[in-house]
């Protein structure tokens, strides 16, 4: 795609996310229907923004056509910067004096530029130990991880980034589809801190990796893999100079197998390895700096140990926990932009008999001229089953509810453990294109009822270092309800609707039916949660307000983001609202 067209497409999708956020969080606007076309109006003093609504969604994931601006009683087509200027003035009554105004505007523009860069044609890159290589086009896991070119559908700056150059983005952002070698160091073992849910420590695992790469480990040293961005930061700041000078740290450079960024950017995947790696990187993506904090190094091993002690993995045959079973760090090289923190995650693709795809990849808007990944999956299902597309879509969604959504609710009902089950954290196993199981990943995304704190501490000593995973039941219902329903399930509802595969009235009715059946299978905890999902209002995360306040939610005590309540489409399935 040439640069001019890429820019136009990027602006269209960027404004879609911006305006959906405004309509949800700041101003629902007024609506009219004129000659069969739907319009939403936002007023700011004497200025009026007219937005053509080409697809109205009960979930709030609307699609927009032409946008016009009326100023001084003169109507004209609104350019990208016209809309951003209008939105800034709507959010900040006195933008010139507001501390975060310029930062938000810069983030929205840079996000759009990042999308345009990903859409533009890219020169092929050579593979090699220190270079990059293209992903296998037949790997369904990677295809889904790399599909979210446009980012979060309800965020004002979904592809904003700081701490990474444009050239680095082409290598390390997943949508560019490039693999890269990691940067390796040797570190004295007495400086390495390690945590594990098993008898196998990270240094043992990386010793085997050293053998595979032909590296002979000196006695008393451990191999440390690092993300190239983090290695660059550590060397550039001089933090490790003294360590390298006296031999406590040895820089081996970039080498070894190619790894590929997953959708979180800092978690990387190498086909064929039994594990994935999650690093600290000195990069701010959307709202937060992607740095692993000390307590996060313990949370993964703690949850893996708890899963074994409480036999959590056997509870739901169709639901699987992806363990972040071990981690390491180097004493004395920590910083506010991270050091050598590394989390080791099991590679679920190794054990799953069916291909795994993340939900965010299924729901992502496709590149121009292509169908969405979910539409392709359903088309293949229809063809293989010799059934029509609507029937295939209905079958797919029913399997998804039965094998992914309902097991999550039953699990919470039984154990009091819930999940940050947003689209990036949930993987779906597909057999002949149909969902057969769900996988949850991310040790930061567990919510355990605080009444279970003592029992968890008895099950594993690591729980004493993970108090921030324990929450009051009402707060868990709010968070779990947003991530599971408003983010994940409603995202699929909107995708099916936008693609013309299944009307939202039908999918919302199917959700209500699935929740009723699950209600009958649950105890009091699960039934209270289902009541939350069917209430007149549902909690949603205020991504726009979080960004406009320049809030890094991962650095707030308890990682407590801003939430607000909106009309719940499940309370009256079938009712469509221009403003969700």
The token duo for 153 is: 């559908």
Q: What is the pLDDT of residue 128?
A: 37
Q: What is the pLDDT of residue 560?
A: 66
| Whole-number Å distance between alpha carbons of 359 and 339 | 31
Q: Judge whether 347 and 276 are in contact, CB under 8 Å.
A: yes
| Whole-number Å distance between alpha carbons of 219 and 433 | 50
The token duo for 135 is: 């992903």
The token duo for 566 is: 């909106």
Q: What is the pLDDT of residue 572?
A: 67
The token duo for 36 is: 């069969």
CATH number of 350-567: 1.10.510.40
Q: Which residue is it, tokens 């089950």?
A: 421
> How many residues are recorded in the chain?
580
| Whole-number Å distance between alpha carbons of 304 and 306 | 5
Q: Judge whether 547 and 565 are in contact, CB under 8 Å.
A: no
| Whole-number Å distance between alpha carbons of 249 and 316 | 45
Q: Judge whether 369 and 5 are in contact, CB under 8 Å.
A: no
Residue 168: closest CA among 140, 199, 201, 132: 132
Count of helices and strands (H, E) across the chain: 20, 26
| Whole-number Å distance between alpha carbons of 119 and 150 | 9
Q: Could you give the strand order of the β-sheet that contains 417-419, starting from the edge strand earlier in sequence?
A: 417-419, 446-449, 470-471
User: Cβ atoms within 10 A of the Cβ of 352, count?
Assistant: 18
Q: Judge whether 26 and 90 are in contact, CB under 8 Å.
A: yes
Q: What is the pLDDT of residue 99?
A: 72
Contacts of 14 (CB under 8 A, 6+ apart): 80, 108, 111, 112, 115, 150
Contacts of 380 (CB under 8 A, 6+ apart): 433
Q: Judge whether 411 and 525 are in contact, CB under 8 Å.
A: no
Q: What is the pLDDT of residue 371?
A: 97
The token duo for 547 is: 């960004």
**Mean pLDDT, 10 residues at a time, over the chain (580 residues)?**
94 97 91 92 95 96 97 96 94 74 91 96 44 70 96 91 94 96 96 96 95 95 97 92 94 96 96 95 90 93 97 94 96 84 96 94 96 97 93 98 98 98 97 96 93 96 92 96 98 98 97 97 97 96 83 59 92 45
| Whole-number Å distance between alpha carbons of 470 and 450 | 5
Phi then psi for 241, rounded to 5 degrees? -60, -45
What DSSP string describes 355-391? Answer: -EEEHHHHHSPPPTTS--HHHHHHHHHHHHHT--HHH
Q: What is the pLDDT of residue 123?
A: 41
- What is the average pLDDT score of the chain? 92
Instruction: Report helix, strand or coil for 113.
Output: helix
Q: What is the pLDDT of residue 556?
A: 55
**Which spans in 436-564 are helix H?**
453-459, 473-481, 490-498, 504-519, 524-533, 543-548
Q: What is the pLDDT of residue 397?
A: 98
Q: Judge whether 320 and 425 are in contact, CB under 8 Å.
A: no
Q: What is the pLDDT of residue 126?
A: 37
């Amino acid at each position: 795609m040439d640069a001019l067209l890429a820019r136009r497409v990027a602006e269209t999708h960027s404004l879609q996310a911006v305006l959906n956020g405004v309509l949800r969080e700041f101003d629902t606007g007024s609506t009219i229907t004129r000659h069969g076309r739907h319009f939403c109006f936002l007023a700011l003093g004497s200025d009026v923004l007219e937005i053509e609504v080409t697809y109205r969604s009960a979930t709030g994931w609307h699609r927009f056509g032409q946008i016009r601006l009326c100023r001084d009683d003169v109507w004209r087509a609104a350019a990208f910067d016209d809309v951003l200027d209008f939105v800034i003035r709507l959010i900040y009554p006195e933008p010139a004096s507001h501390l975060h105004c310029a930062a938000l505007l810069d983030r929205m523009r840079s996000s759009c530029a990042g999308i345009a860069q990903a859409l533009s044609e890219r020169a092929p890159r050579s593979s090699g130990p220190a270079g990059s290589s293209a992903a296998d086009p037949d790997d369904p896991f990677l295809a889904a991880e790399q599909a979210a070119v446009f980012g979060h559908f309800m965020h004002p700056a979904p592809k904003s980034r700081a701490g990474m150059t444009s050239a680095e983005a082409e290598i390390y952002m997943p949508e560019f589809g490039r693999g890269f070698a990691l940067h390796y160091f040797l570190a004295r073992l007495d400086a390495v801190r390690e945590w594990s849910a098993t008898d196998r420590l990270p240094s043992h695992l990386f010793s085997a990796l050293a053998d595979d790469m032909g590296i002979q480990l000196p006695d008393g040293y451990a191999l440390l893999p690092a993300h190239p961005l983090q290695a660059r930061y550590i060397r550039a700041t001089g933090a490790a100079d003294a360590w390298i000078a006296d031999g406590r740290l040895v820089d081996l450079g970039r080498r070894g197998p190619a790894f590929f960024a997953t959708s979180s950017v800092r978690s990387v995947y190498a086909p064929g390895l039994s594990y994935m790696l999650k690093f600290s990187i000195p990069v701010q993506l959307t709202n937060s700096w992607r740095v692993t904090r000390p307590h996060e190094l313990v949370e993964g091993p703690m949850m893996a140990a708890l899963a074994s002690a409480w036999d959590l993995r056997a509870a739901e045959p169709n639901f699987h926990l992806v363990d972040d079973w071990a981690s390491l760090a180097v004493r004395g090289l920590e910083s506010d932009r991270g050091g050598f923190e590394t989390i080791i995650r099991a590679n679920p693709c190794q054990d799953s008999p069916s291909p795994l795809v993340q939900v965010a990849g299924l729901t992502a808007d496709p590149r121009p001229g292509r169908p969405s990944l979910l539409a392709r999956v359903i088309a293949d299902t229809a063809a293989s089953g010799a059934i029509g597309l609507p029937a295939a879509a209905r079958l797919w969604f029913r399997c998804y509810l039965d094998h992914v959504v309902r097991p999550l609710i039953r699990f919470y009902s039984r154990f009091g453990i819930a999940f940050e089950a947003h689209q990036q954290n949930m993987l779906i196993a597909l057999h002949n294109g149909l969902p057969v199981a769900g996988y949850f990943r991310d040790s930061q995304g567990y919510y355990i009822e605080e009444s279970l704190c003592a029992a968890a501490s008895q099950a594993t000593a690591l729980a004493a270092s993970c108090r921030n995973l324990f929450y009051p039941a009402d707060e868990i219902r709010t968070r779990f309800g947003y991530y599971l329903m408003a983010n994940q399930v409603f995202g699929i509802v909107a995708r099916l609707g936008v693609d013309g595969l299944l009307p939202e009235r039908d999918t919302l009715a199917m959700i209500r039916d699935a929740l009723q059946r699950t209600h009958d299978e649950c105890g009091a905890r699960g039934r209270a949660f289902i009541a939350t999902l069917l209430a007149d209002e549902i909690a949603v995360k205020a991504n726009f307000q979080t960004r406009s306040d320049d809030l890094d939610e991962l650095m707030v005590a308890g990682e407590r983001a801003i939430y607000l309540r909106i009309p719940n489409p499940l309370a009256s399935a079938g009712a469509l609202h221009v403003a969700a």
